[in-house]
Structure 1
């Protein structure tokens, strides 16, 4: 059987095309596998970095919570002590104010008594100089 030249050319070109496509597919498959490997390496590297950051963040959150609790305890302690001191100081201030008012009243009374005494001495001097006898 005689095959025509056109049939031979088409047959060979079909094989070449088939072999060429097969080679291209193998090359692409290799490139895909390389890219997949690189992507996997990048993802694993980023995951390791994420785990380190996550662990650090957890530790920082724990430390921040501890500091917050300490601050709250200190705030409560200060508030309780200050409230006690303020109440004590307020009651002491009231007592001192009351004593001061009492002392001021006594001083005013003494001032009035002194003024009265001076007035009586003046009157007595006046009566003695006029010759009037006053019995007190």
Structure 2
């Protein structure tokens, strides 16, 4: 009696864990993004300074922000590029997760986990 009950509990546990992982993957795939634009400034310690930062549909403009990532840079063909390949003063399109936040520092900072990709 104990062995079948234990086996049933283990099977239920495995099934529940498998279902939870699928839901987490669905959430990542359906997460909304917002688009921002700016002009590249200097590379700063693994991050990129962006001047004239503005979010599409938001009237606030002219901010400077530092994008704290060294891995999420892509060209217009969606090919990964190194941060050093970005020309100073070039326009960039930044895909941010909808729940992104800007740290209140000078300049403002956006963490890597808030950035989907940076198109240069």
Do both proteins adopt the same fold according to a TM-score greater than 0.5, normalized to the shorter chain? no
TM-score relative to the length of structure 2 = 0.31
TM-score relative to the length of structure 1 = 0.28
Which has the larger helix fraction? Answer: 1
User: Highest CA radius of gyration, 1 or 2?
Assistant: 1
